[in-house]
């Protein structure tokens, strides 16, 4: 059975005045219908760039310099602008961190939702508004008819994000890409939105790519996790595997530095140093300066993703044998 | 001074912001009459507690709960509408800026945004020299430079970089510089307003460790403001949970996490995603999110609470001490209705 | 890294090198300002020295035309002064008044904007209303009234001596609200930032916070509008002089020269108006082009990387 989305050796460069910088260096993963993937990493790892490049939203000076993005049989990186526009927002929807990136403050919710529908479907305005109402109900917004005539500033942040989810559903997409959808929200609202996304994806059999730095959120919602570092995926596998039996030293360090369950007397385990910026990526394995199990060969050759223990749990590390 | 004089005392603190605007903004035409409307943000409503020397009191709550306003009122950035703030028993909320100066050297603040908390037009050296010079902590220019180099080393930033500008540093490094700035005046009390929320997870651990090291080395007392309960469990001695400007529960940290009493605390704890746990049952709060402009009558939480009764909608519950040492402001807990 | 090195590596200088408009306009601007201030050295004649002026030399056409003389390259004006020299001195006057007026506007405007934005409340309302009133009075009316009163009160001779400072004052007063508004908007944004709160927590007083912390962060928009304001001040002065309300003909600026030559355009001596006019247009054009380029480069969205 073919995958819904297959990203192969994706490369994204930034053309700057002193040369080209590689932001994404050979990222590959697959996503099936109804599957939920978590793309995890810290800021600068390249997870947002990966998400944006799937629907070709990278703006200059960034550009896709290699690889393929095959969605429903078509390579999105090779499509012309007009064809891409038909897929973007229709078959693939995106949810951003700040609802005000999606919602225009000077238009009512009804106008904006109808506009989205009318851009992709040949229906009347009346039908578009009915569809909007239907989706608003699906995201459990109280009194949806009232919301259609309201402006974004009249609602709370959590409600706005729900409306953004509703807008993403308007065209019954096959795939939703959510870029840090709950980072700006309170914890109780966050729980509600994450529940909602999970429920909807299960009910409508939609694929979900959840881009976030929050390992805890991802561990509850997704079936597969890919951990990114300095523009590459360094570990990928089933969520349960990654969370309970992380193999890559970075993933382990990340999980260990979370403060959960630690008492005040202990210091937190910290990974020394910082993620390298794009201009300073070390030779060999990008993580080696901060790694506790590095060897000489880690500086020479970059490790590729290899299966470790389970066939679907891959890790990019030379020294897996040394880890307990 | 007695043995257990608290370092900081807050008594019945109230802070409201009147955002009605000018006369013309207040008047509107409704129902065929001219109506005058006042809009008041009731950020902090009757908060009282003490902070003992050497402890870390965390104040947690979601956005709009008033924790940031509380922090700034404690430090004198906002004058309170009612109530008192006392530092080592001396009242500081009604002092003139001149009289406040000696206290300023003892109480400092660390901010959330590592990008906005350092003046982009000043070098790191100038930023760190300013408090030292202003409070006349040392005598000569050489001593000032030494002090700056000393605090930079303490927070893990190479003193050779002191002539650089903030934008040349990463978020984590800037936060270290912020901490250095707070430490230059040798304070006793530091208010930290979400100091790690804007940082990456692996950097958060570094900064938290740094803050804990500094606390041990310099005998600091922290008031730690955050919405991140995982951090709270790790660093606090006591925790205060706030909702819409009121303290719902104030308890030692273990007590709060093991047996939370207030319905809001329970809902908050259940909503946090935890690593490795799938599908926890999180308590869904009913009703709409309320803003501090239209405070409900009685208990501020009653409209969203599953256990609210008639008394809850009429009477504001006060913080009462339980046998376990925890303080809870809830009629249901007091009456034994809620376990 | 010292300041010069930092400048050379900066995005500002990088864009500058790549934009021909920026390079040409700034080169022409600096050239014109240089020869204007070096006028006493560069000009072939001293047009203020009445001893060297001979009325019989009046209205001589430019040297390449019939009737022209080599020693008067661009011809002479109605009083027999060498046009080139008079233009150079006139440019100098225009530049001094332009720069002086803008410095006046900037100082007053920045002070008002800083105070208004940071202190807020009633002071803010009051100062902004003053700015609004000032702004709505056309500077032309003010100039006419001021000039007339001055000339009546102190006589024409005294007026001629004080024309320059008076013009700086008039043009400066008419435009300071623009700086005040710009600075106030910046201050309102900066005031909420955490570094200002940090300064208050340290205990700094209001004066220190306003001038040491906030002021440097409001300078970028000030810089951007300043170039356009210089061009505008030069043009305002030229307009006033053209109307006879500005620099007198004995110490002419470009505007007065254009005015003086205007009546003679149709009688054939077109060069008296034409060349000063060309110089004025060129000068203001290069200022505006450079200002436009700088506004694009200093656009926060671009450089805040």
**Interface residue B118 vs chain C (CB under 8 A):** yes
Q: Which of B185, B170, B330, B321 is nearest to B243 (CA)?
A: B330
Question: How buried is residue A142: exposed, middle or buried, by Cβ count under 10 Å (0-12/13-18/19+)?
Answer: exposed
Contact B178 C198 (CB under 8 A): yes
In chain A the domains, ranked by start, together with CATH numbers, are: 5-91+171-322 (3.40.50.300)
Contact B273 A219 (CB under 8 A): yes
Contacts 24+ apart (CB under 8 A), A297-300: none
Contact B204 A244 (CB under 8 A): no
Q: Using CA atoms, how far apart are residues B81 and B78, in angstroms rounded to an integer?
A: 9
In a domain, B88, yes or no: yes
Ranges of residues in chain C whose predicted pLDDT is under 70: 1-11, 299-305
Asked if residues C127 and C116 have their Cβ atoms less than 8 Å apart, the reply is yes
Considering CB atoms only, which of A189, A268, A275 is closest to B205?
A268
The predicted structure's pLDDT at residue B1: 42
Asked if residues C283 and C91 have their Cβ atoms less than 8 Å apart, the reply is yes
Q: Using CA atoms, how far apart are residues B224 and B112, in angstroms rounded to an integer?
A: 11
Q: Which of B261, B273, B245 is nearest to B73 (CA)?
A: B245
Considering CB atoms only, which of A187, A217, A270 is closest to B62?
A187
Interface test with B, best of C2, C189, C195, C217 (most B CBs within 10 A): C195
CB neighbourhood size of A75 (10 A): 13
In a domain, B35, yes or no: yes
Q: What is the pLDDT of residues A219-233, one digit of tens each?
A: 888 999 999 999 999
Q: Domain residues for B34?
A: 8-106+187-334
Given a cut of 70, is residue A264 above it in pLDDT? no
In a domain, B130, yes or no: no
Contact A260 B230 (CB under 8 A): yes
Q: How far is CA C7 from CA C2, C20, C21, C210, in A?
A: 9, 19, 20, 26
| Tally of structural domains, chain B | 1
pLDDT confidence tier of residue A269, bands split at 50, 70 and 90? confident
Q: Which chain B positions have a beta carbon within 8 Å of A238's beta carbon?
A: none
**Interface residue C23 vs chain B (CB under 8 A):** no
Higher-pLDDT residue of B238, B36: B238
Percent of chain A, pLDDT > 90? 32
The predicted structure's pLDDT at residue C304: 40
The predicted structure's pLDDT at residue C9: 64
Q: What DSSP element (H or E) covers B35?
A: strand B33-36
Distance from CA of B278 to the nearest CA of A (A): 5
CATH of the domain at B202: 3.40.50.300
pLDDT confidence tier of residue A324, bands split at 50, 70 and 90? low
Tokens of B124: 């790191």
The predicted structure's pLDDT at residue B279: 55
Given a cut of 60, is residue B261 above it in pLDDT? yes
The predicted structure's pLDDT at residue B2: 47
Interface test with B, best of A40, A155, A258 (most B CBs within 10 A): A258
**DSSP letters for A205-262:** T-EEEEEES-HHHHHHH-SEEEEEETTEEEEEEEHHHHHHS--SHHHHHHHHTS-TT-
Question: Any residues with CB less than 8 A from the CB of A121 and at least 6 apart, and which?
Answer: A128, A171
Helical segments of B66-123, H only: 67-74, 97-104
Contact B112 C194 (CB under 8 A): yes
Given a cut of 80, is residue A263 above it in pLDDT? no
Phi-psi region of B205 (alpha: psi -120 to 50; beta: other; left: phi over 0): alpha
In a domain, B98, yes or no: yes
Q: What is the pLDDT of residues A157-176, one digit of tens each?
A: 888 999 999 999 999 999 99
Distance from CA of B228 to the nearest CA of A (A): 8
The predicted structure's pLDDT at residue C188: 94
Considering CB atoms only, which of A244, A257, A274 is closest to B201?
A257
Interface test with B, best of A189, A248, A250, A270 (most B CBs within 10 A): A270
pLDDT confidence tier of residue A300, bands split at 50, 70 and 90? confident
Q: Using CA atoms, how far apart are residues A89 and A96, in angstroms rounded to an integer?
A: 13
**Interface residue C204 vs chain B (CB under 8 A):** yes
Q: Which of B33, B119, B57, B21 is nearest to B256 (CA)?
A: B57
Please determine, looking at this structure, whether the domain spanning C44-49+57-303 carries the CATH number 3.90.25.10: no
The predicted structure's pLDDT at residue A1: 62
Q: Which chain A positions have a beta carbon within 8 Å of B229's beta carbon?
A: 187
Asked if residues B65 and B58 have their Cβ atoms less than 8 Å apart, the reply is no
Q: Using CA atoms, how far apart are residues B175 and C194, in angstroms rounded to an integer?
A: 12
Q: Using CA atoms, how far apart are residues A95 and A167, in angstroms rounded to an integer?
A: 9
Asked if residues B303 and B284 have their Cβ atoms less than 8 Å apart, the reply is no
Asked if residues C305 and C44 have their Cβ atoms less than 8 Å apart, the reply is no
Average pLDDT of span A229-257? 89
Tokens of B244: 């819409």
Helical segments of chain C, H only: 3-9, 11-18, 20-37, 39-42, 83-119, 121-136, 139-191, 194-202, 206-208, 215-217, 219-242, 254-262, 271-297, 300-303
Q: Is the dihedral of CA C39, C43, C48, C49 positive or negative?
A: positive
Given a cut of 70, is residue A265 above it in pLDDT? no
Q: Using CA atoms, how far apart are residues B203 and B116, in angstroms rounded to an integer?
A: 18
Q: Is the dihedral of CA C133, C135, C137, C139 positive or negative?
A: positive
Distance from CA of B132 to the nearest CA of C (A): 9
Average pLDDT of span B44-68? 91
Interface test with B, best of C2, C124, C198, C214 (most B CBs within 10 A): C198
Please provide the size of chain A in residues: 324
Q: Using CA atoms, how far apart are residues B67 and B72, in angstroms rounded to an integer?
A: 9
Which residue in chain C is spatially nearest to B119 when comparing CA positions?
A: C195
User: Any bridge partners for residue B328, and if so which?
Assistant: B249, B320
Contact B117 C195 (CB under 8 A): yes
Contact A219 B200 (CB under 8 A): no
Phi-psi region of A126 (alpha: psi -120 to 50; beta: other; left: phi over 0): alpha
Contact A264 B277 (CB under 8 A): no
Q: Which chain A positions have a beta carbon within 8 Å of B224's beta carbon?
A: none
Q: Using CA atoms, how far apart are residues C216 and C222, in angstroms rounded to an integer?
A: 10
In a domain, B2, yes or no: no
In a domain, B330, yes or no: yes
Q: Using CA atoms, how far apart are residues C27 and A53, in angstroms rounded to an integer?
A: 43
Contacts 24+ apart (CB under 8 A), C17-22: C19/C293, C21/C289, C21/C293, C22/C289, C22/C290, C22/C293, C22/C294
Chain mean position to CA B70:
6
Tokens of A53: 């490049």
Radius of gyration (Cα) for chain B, nearest Å?
22
Distance from CA of B108 to the nearest CA of C (A): 6
Q: Using CA atoms, how far apart are residues B118 and B138, in angstroms rounded to an integer?
A: 23
Contacts 24+ apart (CB under 8 A), B146-152: B147/B184, B148/B184, B151/B180, B151/B181, B151/B183, B151/B184, B152/B124, B152/B128, B152/B177, B152/B180
Average pLDDT of span A96-118? 90
The predicted structure's pLDDT at residue C303: 42
Which residue in chain A is spatially nearest to B157 when comparing CA positions?
A: A273
Asked if residues A109 and A148 have their Cβ atoms less than 8 Å apart, the reply is yes
Given a cut of 80, is residue B4 above it in pLDDT? no
Q: Which chain B positions have a beta carbon within 8 Å of A192's beta carbon?
A: 284
Average pLDDT of span A125-145? 90
The predicted structure's pLDDT at residue B13: 93
Q: Which chain A positions have a beta carbon within 8 Å of B280's beta carbon?
A: 220
Chain A, chain B: beta-carbon pairs less than 8 Å apart:
116
Q: Can you give the residue ranges of every domain in chain C?
A: 44-49+57-303
**DSSP letters for A5-24:** EEEEEEEEEEEETTEEEEEE
User: Any bridge partners for residue B17, and if so which?
Assistant: B41
The predicted structure's pLDDT at residue C187: 95
Average pLDDT of span B187-206? 89
């Amino acid at each position: 059975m073919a995958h819904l989305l297959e990203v192969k050796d994706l490369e994204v460069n930034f053309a700057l005045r002193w040369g080209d910088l590689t932001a994404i260096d050979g990222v590959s993963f697959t996503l099936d219908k109804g599957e939920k993937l978590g793309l995890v990493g810290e800021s600068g790892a390249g997870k947002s760039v990966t998400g944006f490049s799937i629907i070709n939203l990278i703006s200059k000076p960034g550009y896709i310099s290699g690889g393929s993005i095959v969605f429903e049989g078509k390579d999105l990186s090779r499509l012309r602008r007009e064809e891409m526009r038909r897929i973007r927002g229709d078959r693939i929807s995106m949810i951003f961190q700040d609802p005000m990136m999606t919602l225009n403050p000077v238009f009512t919710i009804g106008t904006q939702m109808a506009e989205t529908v009318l851009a992709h479907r040949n229906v009347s305005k009346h039908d578009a508004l009915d569809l909007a109402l239907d989706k608003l109900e699906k995201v459990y917004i109280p009194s949806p008819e009232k919301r259609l005539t309201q402006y974004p500033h009249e609602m709370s942040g959590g409600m706005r994000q729900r409306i953004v989810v509703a807008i993403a559903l308007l065209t019954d997409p096959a795939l939703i890409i959510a870029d840090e959808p709950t980072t700006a929200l309170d914890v109780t609202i966050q729980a509600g939105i994450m529940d909602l996304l999970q429920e909807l994806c299960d009910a409508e059999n939609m694929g979900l790519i959840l881009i976030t730095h929050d390992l805890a959120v991802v561990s509850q919602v997704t079936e597969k996790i890919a951990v990114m570092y300095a523009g590459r995926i360094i570990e990928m596998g089933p969520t349960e595997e990654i969370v309970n039996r992380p193999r890559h030293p970075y993933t382990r360090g990340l999980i260990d530095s979370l403060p959960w369950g630690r008492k005040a007397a202990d210091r937190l385990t910290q990974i020394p140093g910082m993620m390298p910026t794009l201009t300073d990526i070390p030779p060999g394995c990008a993580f080696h300066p901060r790694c506790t199990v590095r060897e000489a060969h880690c500086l020479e050759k970059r490790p590729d993703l290899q299966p470790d223990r389970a066939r679907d749990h891959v890790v990019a590390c030379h020294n897996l044998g040394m880890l307990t | 001074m007695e043995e257990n004089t608290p370092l900081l005392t807050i008594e019945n603190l109230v802070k409201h912001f009147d955002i009605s605007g000018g006369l013309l903004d207040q008047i509107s035409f409704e129902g065929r009459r001219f109506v005058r409307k006042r809009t008041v943000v009731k950020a902090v409503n009757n908060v009282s507690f003490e902070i003992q020397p050497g402890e870390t009191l965390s104040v947690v709550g979601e956005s709009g709960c008033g924790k940031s306003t509380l922090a700034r009122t404690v430090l004198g950035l906002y004058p309170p509408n009612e109530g008192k703030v006392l530092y080592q028993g001396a009242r500081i909320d009604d002092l003139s800026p001149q009289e406040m100066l000696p206290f300023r050297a003892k109480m400092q603040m660390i901010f959330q945004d590592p990008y906005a908390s350092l003046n982009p037009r000043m070098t790191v050296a100038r930023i760190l020299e300013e408090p030292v010079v202003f409070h006349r902590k040392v005598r000569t220019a050489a001593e000032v430079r030494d002090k700056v180099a000393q605090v930079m080393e303490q927070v893990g930033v190479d003193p050779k970089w002191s002539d650089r500008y903030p934008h040349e540093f990463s978020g984590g490094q800037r936060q270290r510089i912020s901490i250095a700035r707070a430490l230059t005046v040798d304070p006793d009390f530091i208010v930290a307003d979400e100091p790690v929320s804007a940082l990456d997870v692996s950097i958060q651990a570094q900064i938290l460790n740094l803050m804990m090291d500094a606390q041990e080395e310099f005998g600091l007392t922290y008031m730690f403001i955050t919405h991140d309960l995982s951090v709270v469990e790790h660093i606090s001695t006591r925790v205060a949970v706030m909702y819409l400007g009121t303290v719902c529960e104030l308890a030692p940290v273990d007590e709060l996490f093991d047996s939370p009493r207030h319905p809001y605390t329970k809902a908050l704890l259940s909503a946090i995603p935890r690593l490795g746990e799938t599908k926890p049952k999180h308590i869904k709060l009913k009703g709409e999110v309320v803003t501090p402009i239209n405070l409900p009558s009685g208990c501020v939480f009653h409209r969203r609470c599953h256990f609210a009764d008639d008394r809850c909608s009429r009477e504001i519950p006060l913080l009462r001490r339980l046998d376990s040492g925890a303080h809870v402001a809830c009629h249901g807990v007091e009456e034994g209705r809620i376990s | 890294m010292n300041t010069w090195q930092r400048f050379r590596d900066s995005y500002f200088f990088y864009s500058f090198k790549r934009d021909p408009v920026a390079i040409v306009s700034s080169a022409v601007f600096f050239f014109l300002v240089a020869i204007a201030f070096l006028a006493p050295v560069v000009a072939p004649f001293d047009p203020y020295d009445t001893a060297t002026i001979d009325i019989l030399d009046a209205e001589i056409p430019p040297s390449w035309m019939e009737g022209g003389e080599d020693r008067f390259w661009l011809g002479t004006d109605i009083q027999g002064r060498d046009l080139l020299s008079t233009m150079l001195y006139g440019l100098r006057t225009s530049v001094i008044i332009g720069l002086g007026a803008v410095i006046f506007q900037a100082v007053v405007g920045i002070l008002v904007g800083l105070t208004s934005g940071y202190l807020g409340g009633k002071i803010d309302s009051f100062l902004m209303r003053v700015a609004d009133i000032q702004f709505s009075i056309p500077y032309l009316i003010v100039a006419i009234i001021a000039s007339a009163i001055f000339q009546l009160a102190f006589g024409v001779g005294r007026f001629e001596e004080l024309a320059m400072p008076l013009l700086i004052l008039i043009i400066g007063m008419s435009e300071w609200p623009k700086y005040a508004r710009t600075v106030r908007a910046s201050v309102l944004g900066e005031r909420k930032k955490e570094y200002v709160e940090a300064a208050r927590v340290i205990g700094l007083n209001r004066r220190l916070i306003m001038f040491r912390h906030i002021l440097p962060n409001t300078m970028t928009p000030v810089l951007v509008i300043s170039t356009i304001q210089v061009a505008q001040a030069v043009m305002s002065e030229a307009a006033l002089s053209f109307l006879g309300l500005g620099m007198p003909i004995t110490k002419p600026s470009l505007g007065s020269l254009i005015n003086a030559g205007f009546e003679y355009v149709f009688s054939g001596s077109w060069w008296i108006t034409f060349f000063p006019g060309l110089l004025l247009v060129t000068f203001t054009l290069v200022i505006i082009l450079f200002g436009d380029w700088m506004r694009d480069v200093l656009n926060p969205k671009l450089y805040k990387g």
